[in-house]
Amino acid sequence: MSGPECESHTGATTHAEHGERVAAMFGRIAGWYDFLNHALSGGQDIFWRYRLARAARPEPGGMVLDLAAGTMDVSVELLRQYPECRVAALDFALPMLENGKRRKLKDGREERIFPVQADGRALPLPDDSMAAATIAFGIRNILPREDAYAEFLRVLKPGARLCILEFGTGSKRVWKGLYNFYLDKLLPFIGDRISGDSCAYRYLAETIKSFPDERALGCELLQAGFERVYNVPMMSGIVYLHVAEKPLKKGGAPKPAATKKAAPKKAASKTGKQASRSVKSSGTARRK
Ligand SMILES: C[S@@+](CC[C@H](N)C(=O)[O-])C[C@H]1O[C@@H](n2cnc3c(N)ncnc32)[C@H](O)[C@@H]1O
């Protein structure tokens, strides 16, 4: 899908062009991606992905979608925690998947993790087929996000979870100055020195700062038709884990077009304020 309304930090004017530019950018830094991830987060990213996978809770033997899988660290962690599952590792940037495949899909993992180049806005997966879905540091890159939410909702089985890992906006007072210095100065500098691509790391900083905060993201998920939405802050809100469920009841998940026109009864009929109240923080809406 494309349109002139695209507000992209890549300078693209259409959503299709944005997708291509983002994929090309990740393709350029694929070789350095894992090293920089671990270095820039001080190794914390391993724990964040562990928490993400733990929240997914797929049924035994089910297929889990790991969208924007990149070099497949999340896919590998999902398989480690749920050895009976299979993982569909989808990403737009082929070099990211190839890099991860070369280094990580061995010792039997290659029989359970399936890397596929695909756009998160048009998933090559059947309806109601996934036992859980994850996306780590990927939803920020997809425009418009509503298309990805609609696809997640379509492919998930009723009652299955969507788990999103994403950076917070850094608006919390305690971190604000330090975090913004890190994003604006340190990140592009280190990214440039190591990967030779300061643009990619400047893009990272800009998209983190302009991304909706945790409550707004929760509202987006409710409005897309998910329910039981909650978030868990990590590292004082530098990173958030968002969890949402596809409704069990048939018809509970509205189609995106219906969301805008005639709002159906459940989550999609909520006003922004009502939806905002329904988003729980710190895991208070966990499944019993
Ligand atoms: C920051 S990386 C995250 C990789 C991995 N999930 C991780 O935790 O390290 C973001 C990934 O999103 C992918 N991506 C961006 N737009 C996409 C889209 N429209 N569909 C699928 N993947 C996309 C990029 O190619 C990139 O690999």
CB burial readout 103-131, b (16+ within 10 A) else e: ebbeeebeebbebeebbbbebebeeebbb
pLDDT of residue 188: 75
In this prediction, residue 249 has a pLDDT band, given cuts at 50, 70 and 90, of confident
| 231 pLDDT higher than 60 | yes
In this prediction, residue 2 has a pLDDT band, given cuts at 50, 70 and 90, of very low
pLDDT of residue 186: 77
Whole-number Cα distances in Å, 224 to 73, 254, 263:
27, 7, 11
Summarize the confidence of residues 43-65 as an average pLDDT: 97
Place of tokens 């399936």: 114
What kind and span of H or E run contains 204?
A: helix 198-210
| 272 pLDDT higher than 60 | no
Regarding beta strands 227-234 and 239-245, do their DSSP bridges make them parallel or antiparallel, or are they unpaired? Answer: antiparallel
Nearest one of 229, 231, 240 to 266, comparing CA atoms: 229
Site to probe by mutation for ligand 1, drawn from 18, 91, 116, 137 as the one with most ligand atoms within 8 Å of Cβ, is: 91
Structure-model confidence comparison of residues 264 and 139, the more confident one: 139
Ligand 1 atom at minimal distance to the Cα of residue 93? 25
What kind and span of H or E run contains 48?
A: helix 44-56
Residues near 57 by Cβ (< 8 Å), separated by ≥ 6?
A: 132, 161, 287
Ligand 1 atom at minimal distance to the Cα of residue 27? 25
Is the distance from CB of 50 to CB of 73 less than 8 angstroms? no
In this prediction, residue 278 has a pLDDT band, given cuts at 50, 70 and 90, of low
pLDDT of residue 270: 39
The residues lining ligand 1, judged by C-beta closer than 6 Å to any ligand atom, are 19, 22-23, 26, 37, 68-70, 73-74, 91-93, 96, 119-121, 136-138, 141-142
Ligand 1 atom at minimal distance to the Cα of residue 23? 25
Helix axes 214-224, 145-155, angle to 10 degrees: 50
Ligand 1 atom at minimal distance to the Cα of residue 119? 20
How far is the centre of ligand 1, averaged over its atoms, from the C-alpha of 143 (Å)? 12
Averaged pLDDT of the chain: 84
Summarize the confidence of residues 12-37 as an average pLDDT: 87
User: Residue 273 and residue 221: Cα distance in Å, rounded?
Assistant: 14
Domains of the chain by range and CATH?
15-29+45-177+212-281 (3.40.50.150)
| pLDDT 10s digits, 126-137 | 999 999 999 999
Percent of the chain whose predicted confidence (pLDDT) is above 90: 55
pLDDT of residue 264: 37
Structure-model confidence comparison of residues 205 and 255, the more confident one: 205
Report the nearest-CA residue for atom 11 of ligand 1: 68
User: Residue 181 and residue 198: Cα distance in Å, rounded?
Assistant: 15
Site to probe by mutation for ligand 1, drawn from 78, 141, 152 as the one with most ligand atoms within 8 Å of Cβ, is: 141
Gyration radius of the chain's alpha carbons:
18
Cβ neighbours around 92 below 10 Å, total: 24
In this prediction, residue 259 has a pLDDT band, given cuts at 50, 70 and 90, of very low
